[in-house]
Chain A
Amino acid sequence: MRPLERVLRTRRALATAIATRAALWATATTLTVGALATIASRRTGRLDGFAPWLIAAVIGGIVLVVLLMPWRRLTVPRVALWIEERVPRLEYALVTAVDPAAERAPTTALLEQQIARVSWTAETRRAVSRAVAWPALATIAAFGALLLAQRVAFARSASAPDGTVSATSTASRDVASPFARLSATVRAPAYAGGRVLRVESPASIVALVGSSVTFDAPGAGAGVTADVGGQTLAVQPTSGWRVALTVGDRPTLVRFRHASGERIVALEPRADSVPTVRLLEPSRDTVMRVARGALSLSAETHDDIGLASGAFEYIVSSGEGESFQFRSGTLGTRQYSGAANGTLAASLALDALNLKPGDMVHLRAVARDGNSVSGPGVGASETRVLRVARAGEYDSIAVEGAPPPEADKSMISERMLIMMTEALDRRRPTLARETLMSESRAIGRDQTRLRKRVGDIIFARLGNNPSGEEGRDPDDDPASADTSVRADSASRDAARRAATRAGRPAREIAAADSADSARAALLRAASAATGNGDEILDFEGDETPVVAINRPLLEAYNAMWEASRELDQGETARALPPMRRALAAIQRARQAERIYLRGKAPTVVVDLARVRLTGKDTGAASTRVPRQPVDPGAARRAERLAAAIELASRTPAAAIDSLVLLRVESLDAAPRLAAAIADALDAMRNGRDATTLLARARRVADGTVRGAGRLGAWSGVW
């Protein structure tokens, strides 16, 4: 390796050392300044958030820049001189060798040989180590200082006068008191399984009503007193001392007092919920014509602790007016033995109840829990009523569901009939004559039904009874159908007008009237409409738009008639053209109509007297009434909360006690406030910043609208 290359390698090492040293010093400076600024900000409260660290970062950056400046001076001659200074054996051979002026000198080879015999790696390594060692140590020290500063700041924050609130637990301040190692053992009532829970250093205890709570603490217990709700509790000597009590049904405080201080523990009773019962069968109230057979009953039950028993209860009420008799009973009783969930099932024999018309059976399911302390809790389902209908009210009872539609009465569209006919026509060469006729006539019957439906529509529009001749089933006897038909004058007029326009002779018109057949009238109108008559139909005359708009349907009706006739003869190919004409006519009719749907318009009667303000004045201006004064307890609670928050900035431990007291007293009257205080307490006990939570509690406490108990002097009746 040539001398210049070795010098450059050394220069890289020195540059790295300079950069590392600068970075370490900058880090150490940043951490140190940040730690100091944190402590200062906690003390003075002038800086918060990231401000201390922003300042520290700026200072650290300045240090970094300043310490990187030597980097620029690392030229090759300077580095060579730096090496010559530390390795005198080189005798300036290195400086000479790296000089560009001596590059082509005849002595270059000799100089390189001399330099090659000397190594300065150790000197370089030592220099680099020295340069980095102290900054590294400074960085570690600064990091330690930062951790220390955090602890100091955290410890001071508990008593900081700036309004931010956090605190260590109550227990940690009671090291010297007899309550320092207070613990509680909670034993649930026997019906709840007698489960035992141990709580160390309790601040509040949530337990079922009737649970036994035992407070234990080491020490002699001399001078210790305890009371709950003003009643003194016995302090029993054991290996330490013990206080026992039973959880009542209201929130309360247990106060332990000693010359060294006081300890408060909140007792929050948890009520045992009553069982929930859901009646599954019968699912709804029912009215029966005859009470016979058995009625299936089922229900499901649930309890938060455990069920004891369940059963169905029924009451039969008989009679009417002022004379009623009642019978009651239970059935399907079941024992659960403490299970949380259960079912009930039974069968009610209606015959055995001997129900008469008008009698009612009230049914419900009932479940009881095993609460032997404050219970048992009884839960009941909603009540179902089964009633036996009276003879005179059958018309108001919907017992039977609608029957399913008859399959052979369903309609097939014209398009579907065409597809069926086309398919049959394709299969025609392969079918026996009888099969072809059978299937073709089946399609023909469907075609006839559809034609009948079209006829109904036309009749309805013409103002006739759609259930006339064309309302009859096509399978009915046609002769009887013809004789049973009555076409009213309107349909005859329509047919007559159509025939007249078609240029029919007068005798034909007379014949049409004399036939008195709606079918004939309709057919004539259809024939005229489709141009089968000798003359072209002209609707411009005195024809009404109602008939005009029926024209496509009349055409379809006629084509269907023709198609069904061909289908009855098994002529599928000849049936298809009129079927397609019918389809096209139906499409035209559908497109021609524009229907405006609307409901029946309301009849509006304008109240003229009211509009003209001439009505009788019956109103009077309302007077102001004083607002309901807010619960005075709420105001007191808000004041106490404010005082506790104020106290928290000076003595967090006392504030915690105040908040515990306030929370217990608020559990019933202001549960939202109690919950908000609980959150704040949790934060304070765990050393977290409770400022936001206390602010929320204050909002909850102040949330109600305040009003004075009376109106102000300015107010009064208008």
Chain B
Amino acid sequence: MSEFVFATGQYESGDWDSAPLVPANLIDSLAKYTSLPVAPTGAIVALASDDLFRFPLVYLTGHLPVRFTEAERANVRRFADRGGMLFVDDHNHDIDGAFHKTAVEELGRAVGKLTQLANTHPLYSSFFKFPDGPPNTAHELNGWGDNLVHSHLLAAMRGDRIAVLYSNKDYSSEWGYHPDNKRFLSIDNTKFGVNVIVYALTR
């Protein structure tokens, strides 16, 4: 079995590389909690590239408005149709949804309308149990950003499988720290990331 490589999606517009420490942090958690073979560093893959199809899970984030090129849009559509999972997280917690509006619109054009994912979805029990749905982030609880605690994630489904998982909970900020600093947290806040990866690899 080949090892899992955590891939970060690169797109033409916006700042796709705004959370550079998230991959390492999730790789660290995956290694810590599971026995899945995992590469020690992540990879960067252009959405318009055919390399996109080499990765089962692609993480996408940013602050700025998202505008896919035709090639990116087509590739994302094919990626979702062919079994890949795109995990998109809105990295904003201080502006009013610039990424959210454009990304949802682009993803809608690429893979179809995003709908609320039930909090009882198997994603929330694929490894760790999250009976209340997606865990809240510190930014939500501190009242930053839109001053809302988003109770659900959005998803575009292919059958009963999540093809695109969309979060505006700003996990990119929540998980954006060096994995060595995880020891200072009383509760590891990256456990949901393990669920996302395990779900992507097992469905």
Q: Does B7 contact A (CB under 8 A)?
A: no
Contact between chains at B31 and A612 (CB < 8 Å): yes
CA of A545 to CA of B31 in the docked complex: distance in angstroms? 39
A601, B20: Cβ atoms closer than 8 Å:
yes
Interface-forming stretch among A107-115, A181-189, A389-397, A602-610?
Answer: A602-610
Nearest neighbor of B13 in chain A, beta-carbon distance = A545
CB of B117 within 8 Å of the partner chain: no
Over the window 528-548 of chain A, the binary record of Cβ atoms lying under 8 Å from chain B Cβ atoms (1 yes, 0 no) is: 000000000000001011000
Residues from chain A with Cβ under 8 Å of B23 in the complex: 604
Interface residues of B: mostly helix, strand, loop or mixed? Answer: loop
| A621 at interface, CB cutoff 8 A | no
**How far, in angstroms, from A598 to B13 measured CA to CA in the complex?**
17
CB-CB < 8 A to B17: which residues of A? 601
Interface assignment of A104: CB less than 8 Å from any CB of chain B: no
The answer, among A544, A598, A606, for a CB contact under 8 Å with B24, is A606
Which one of A542, A544, A611 contacts B31 once the chains associate, using CB atoms below 8 Å?
A611
Q: Which chain B residues border A596 with CB–CB below 8 Å? A: 15, 18, 63-64
Using A604-B41, A606-B28, A608-B31 as known contacts, say yes or no to A545 and B67 having CB atoms under 8 A apart: yes
Instruction: Please provide the chain B residues from 61 to 97 with a CB less than 8 Å away from any CB of chain A in the complex.
Output: 63-65, 67, 70, 95
B21 CB-CB contact with A under 8 Å:
yes
Assuming the contacts A606-B31, A611-B28, A612-B32, asked whether A594 and B40 have C-beta atoms less than 8 A apart, the reply is no
Which residues of chain B come closer than 8 Å to A611, judged between CB atoms? 28, 31-32, 179
Q: Find chain A residues with CB under 8 A from B15 CB.
A: 596
Known: A612-B31, A612-B32. A607 touches B40 (CB 8 A): yes
| B35 nearest in chain A by CB position | A612
Closest B residue to A598 by beta carbon equals B18
Q: For chain B residues 173-190, which have a beta carbon within 8 Å of chain A? A: 178-179
Give the number of chain B interface residues (Cβ < 8 Å): 24
Please name the residue on chain B nearest to A542 by beta carbon. B70
Please report the C-alpha to C-alpha distance between residue A608 and residue B31 in the assembled complex, in whole angstroms: 6
Chain B positions 90-133 with a Cβ under 8 Å from a chain A Cβ: 95
Q: How far is the CA of A602 from the CA of B15 in the complex (A)?
A: 16
A601 contact set on B, CB distance < 8 A: 17, 20-21
Q: What are the residues of chain B within 8 A of A608 when measuring CB–CB? A: 27, 31, 38, 40
Known: A544-B12, A545-B13, A612-B32. A606 touches B41 (CB 8 A): yes
> Distance in Å from the Cβ of B194 to the closest Cβ of chain A?
13
The minimal Cβ–Cβ distance linking B44 to chain A, given in whole angstroms, is 11
Report A629 CB to chain B, min CB distance, Å.
37
The answer to whether A605 touches B65 (Cβ under 8 A) is no
Contacts of A604 in B (CB 8 A): 21, 23-24, 41, 178-179
- Interface code A432-462, partner B: CB below 8 Å = 1, 0 otherwise? 0000000000000000000000000000000
Point out the residues of chain B lying under 8 angstroms from A602, CB to CB.
Answer: 20-21, 178
Q: Establish whether residues A606 and B20, one from each chain, have CB atoms under 8 Å apart when the complex forms.
A: no
Which residues on the A side are within 8 Å of B41 (C-beta)?
603-606
Q: Which of A595-632 contact B (CB under 8 A)?
A: 596, 598, 601-608, 611-612
CA distance A596 to B15 in the complex (A): 9
Chain A residues lying within 8 Å of B12, measured Cβ to Cβ, are 544
Instruction: Write out the residue numbers on chain A whose beta carbons fall within 8 Å of the beta carbon of B178.
Output: 602, 604
* Bound CA span A605–B21, Å: 10
Question: How far is the CB of A642 from the nearest CB of chain B, in Å?
Answer: 47
Contact B40 A606 (CB under 8 A): yes
Chain B contacts with A in 5-31, Cβ cutoff 8 A: 12-13, 15, 17-18, 20-21, 23-24, 27-28, 31
B 44-73 to A, binary, CB cutoff 8 A, 1 in contact else 0: 000000000000000000011101001000
Main secondary structure of the interface of A (DSSP, over half): loop
Point out the residues of chain B lying under 8 angstroms from A542, CB to CB: 70
> Chain A residues near B24 (CB, 8 Å)?
604-606
Cβ contacts under 8 Å, A544 to chain B:
12-13
- A491-547, CB < 8 A from B: 542, 544-545
CB–CB B32/A594 < 8 A: no
Bound-state Cα–Cα, A545 to B65, Å: 9
* Complex Cα–Cα for A594 and B64 (A): 8
Docked pose: A612 CA to B20 CA in angstroms: 23
Q: Which residues of A contact B18 (CB under 8 A)?
A: 596, 598
A120–B65 Cα gap in the complex (Å)? 113
Expressed in whole angstroms, the Cα–Cα distance for A605 and B179 within the complex equals: 10
Across-interface contacts of B31 in A (CB, < 8 A):
606, 608, 611-612
Q: With both chains docked as a complex, state the minimum distance between the C-beta of A119 and any C-beta of chain B, in angstroms.
A: 94
* CA of A634 to CA of B178, assembled, Å: 49
- In the complex formed, the residue of A with least CB distance to B20 is A601
Q: B67 — which chain A residues lie within 8 A by C-beta?
A: 545
Q: Which of A594, A598, A607, A611 has the most CB of B within 10 A?
A: A611
With CB as the reference atom, state the residue of chain A lying closest to B14: A545
Asked whether, in the complex, the Cβ of B27 is within 8 Å of the Cβ of A606, the reply is yes
- Taken together as a complex, chains A and B put the C-alpha atoms of A604 and B39 apart, in Å, by 12
**How long is the Cα–Cα vector from A98 to B87 in the complex, in angstroms?**
114
Name which residue of chain A comes closest to B63, CB basis.
A596
Cα distance, A603 to B179, chains bound together (Å): 12
CB distance from B90 to the nearest CB of A (A): 14
Report Cα–Cα, A594/B94, bound state, in Å. Answer: 12
Q: What's the nearest-Cβ distance from chain B to residue A686, in Å?
A: 57
**A605 x B20 contact (CB < 8 A):** no
Closest to B95 in A: A594
Which of A606, A607, A611 has the largest number of chain B CB atoms within 10 A? A606
Closest to A607 in B: B40
CB pair A605–B40 under 8 Å, yes or no, is yes
In chain B, what residue has the closest Cβ to A548? B67
CA distance A607 to B24 in the complex (A): 10
Residues of chain A with a CB closer than 8 A to B13's CB: 544-545
A545, A598, A606, A612: the one within 8 Å of B179 (CB): A606
- Determine how close the nearest CB of chain A comes to the CB of B61; give it in whole angstroms: 12
Q: Which residues of B contact A603 (CB under 8 A)?
A: 41
Nearest residue in B to A612 (C-beta to C-beta)?
A: B31
A481 to B4: give the CA distance in the assembly, Å.
Answer: 55
CB nearest to A611 among chain B residues: B31
In whole angstroms, what is the CA distance A142 to B178 when docked? Answer: 82
- Measured between C-beta atoms, what is the minimum distance from B200 to chain A in Å? 19
- Contact partners of B65 in chain A: CB under 8 A: 545
Most chain A CB neighbours (cut-off 10 Å) among B15, B20, B23: B20
Q: How far is the CA of A604 from the CA of B181 in the complex (A)?
A: 13
Distance between Cα atoms of A603 and B39 in the complex (Å)? 14
Task: Find chain B residues with CB under 8 A from A612 CB.
Answer: 31-32
Contacts of B64 in A (CB 8 A): 594, 596
14 A-B pairs with CB atoms under 8 Å apart are: A545-B65, A545-B67, A594-B64, A596-B15, A596-B18, A602-B178, A604-B21, A606-B40, A606-B179, A607-B40, A608-B27, A608-B40, A611-B31, A612-B32
Binding site for A on B (CB under 8 A): 12-13, 15, 17-18, 20-21, 23-24, 27-28, 31-32, 38, 40-41, 63-65, 67, 70, 95, 178-179
Listed from nearest, the 5 A-B pairs whose CB atoms lie closest are A601-B20, A604-B24, A611-B31, A606-B40, A606-B27
Given contacts A602-B178, A604-B24, 10 further A-B contacts (CB under 8 A): A544-B13, A545-B13, A596-B18, A596-B64, A601-B17, A602-B20, A604-B21, A606-B27, A606-B28, A607-B40
